[in-house]
Structure 1
Amino acid sequence: MLDNFWSPVRLSVEIASVSALIVFIAGICLGRMMANRTFKGKLVLETVMLLPLVLPPTVVGFLLIIVFGKNSFIGQVMEWIFHQPVMFTWWAAVIASTVVAFPLMYQSAKAGFEAIDMDIEEAARVDGASELKVFLFVSIPLALKSIASGAILSFTRALGEFGATLMFAGNLPGRTQTAPLAIYTAMETGDMRMAWMWVVCMVSLSFILLLFVHMMRRP
């Protein structure tokens, strides 16, 4: 019973951790690139990046199938590289979680970078610091609270991903069945005891992570 309980939880944490790492790097880089800059098409580009926040999970899952499915160019290239389709695999769950979690990290990182006094960064450049050093040793430390809260929120969002994962990665026990999918299966089969155990576990994890975010944001 314990193995049946911990397997989806462990899988959820593993997938959410990898997804959070990906969106952490991508969110910081893109957030920095887009902060305090204006260019033609920026509004459209940002709207596209934030779409997963408002799109129904089934739409996100459908689009992932179109982009990474066996009939797409990207899907065929990935199948050639990995010798198997990406759909219904562990990595499919990671991709789905990454797509839905990215907007939270991007928004937080961008807001953090936009709040930095540009005179501080300019002073570092005047003192001879390269753009990379300004980014690593000035910009990131000054935006650290926003970056950290974005990372935690992204991890929490990836941890609770359901709809897109179900469509794109499937509900395969031990492979792609995360805790949210396990709760869904337990409800369908009438196993309310296991469903409650997973619900309590997920609520507890999410509560602790969100509480930590609120504590970080306090002055």
Structure 2
Amino acid sequence: MDWLGPEEWQAVALSLKVAVWATLVSLPLGVVTAVALARWEFPGKQLLNGLVHLPLILPPVVTGYLLLLTFGTRGPLGALLEPLGIVFAFRWTGAALAAGIMAFPLMVRAIRLSVEAVDPKLEQAASTLGASRLWVFGTVTLPLILPGVIAGAILAFAKAMGEFGATITFVSNIPGQTQTLPSAIYAFLQVPGGEASALRLVAVSVVIAMGALLASEWLSRRVAKRVAGT
């Protein structure tokens, strides 16, 4: 990374930090949501499905503005969290929140497809032996859907790395604080002579994205083979 300047490296490091936290924090909720949409029947299920996929349909700027209205220091949730020392607006934590929300539909979709591919009879068989729902999920369902969980997590990570519209609207583009890799590319393209720096960051983005996709395929296949006992 010696060919990256300090500001460029700072943007890459912040993007990695944001993407990792966005993925780790949203993964448990993503698994629960995917299982609920695939297996459970409850009032408002279609509403939940719509809300989960809403970030894919809305313009990212709209999502970022809604986050600013909600989690800004004057927003209903932001005002409650600020006395506790939890601030999202114009902080890297806000970038992680925006990235996690934008990546959440991709994560849920991948995990949901894995859950739907599991034969419900396997879970029913474990239940007839007296196992609780939680035990059935942990010992039967989770190992079978693990390839999908891994794929969903890595896809969410890649999406979080590339998130721009919602992030810049919610936390702005502050170098060293909220300037992620896409924001840095945009900033470099706005100044004369910044094309070289932007091009280097584009190359880094492509490498990270391709690496994430290849890792997702490799890990999913390896886990699938281990689950199948081959």
Report the TM range for the smaller structure's normalisation.
over 0.9
The two structures, once aligned, show a CA RMSD in angstroms of 1.7
Contact kept in structure 2, 1:121 and 1:138, CA below 8 Å: yes
Counterpart of 2:16 in structure 1 is 13
2:93 is the counterpart of 1:91: yes
Q: Output one character per residue of 1:33-75: Cα deviation in whole Å (capped at 9) or x when no partner.
A: 2212333321122111110012111100111011112222211
User: Equivalent residue for 1:198?
Assistant: 201
Show structure 1 runs of 5+ residues with no match. none
Aligned partners of 2:49, 2:134: CA distance in 1, in Å?
24
Residues of 2 paired with 1:195 and 1:179: CA distance?
A: 9
Q: What is the CA-CA distance between 1:217 and the residue it aligns to?
A: 6.0
Instruction: Give the deviation of 1:148 after TM superposition.
Output: 1.0
Kindly indicate whether the alpha-carbon contact (under 8 Å) linking 2:14 and 2:180 is maintained by their aligned counterparts in 1: yes
The correspondence for 1:150, drawn from 111, 128, 152, is 152
For 1:1-219, list aligned pairs within 5 A. Answer: 2-82=5-85, 85-190=87-192, 191-215=194-218
1 CA distance for matches of 2:92 and 2:203? 24
Q: Could you report, residue by residue, the CA deviation over 1:114-163 in whole angstroms, capped at 9, with x for unpaired residues?
A: 11111111222223322222111211111111111111110000010101
Farther off after superposition, 126-135 or 188-197: 126-135
Matched residue pairs, number? 218
1:72 counterpart letter in structure 2: G
State the TM-score, normalized to the length of structure 1.
0.93
Deviations 1:75-129 (A, max 9, x none): 10111111x7431011111110111011111111122111111111122222332
Identity, in percent, stands at 37
Aligned counterparts of 2:83 and 2:207: Cα–Cα separation in 1: 41
Normalising by structure 2, we get a TM-score of 0.89
Q: State the shift of 1:30 in Å.
A: 1.3
| Structure 2: stretches of 5+ with no match in the other structure | 225-230
Tell me the distance in 1 between the aligned counterparts of 2:88 and 2:47: 29
Query: Take 2:220 and 2:28, find their aligned partners in 1: how far apart are those partners?
Result: 21
The answer on whether the counterparts of 1:23 and 1:154 sit within 8 Å (CA) in structure 2 is no
* CA apart distance, 1:211: 2.5
More displaced, 196-205 or 131-140?
Answer: 131-140
Distance 2:122 2:158 in 1: 33
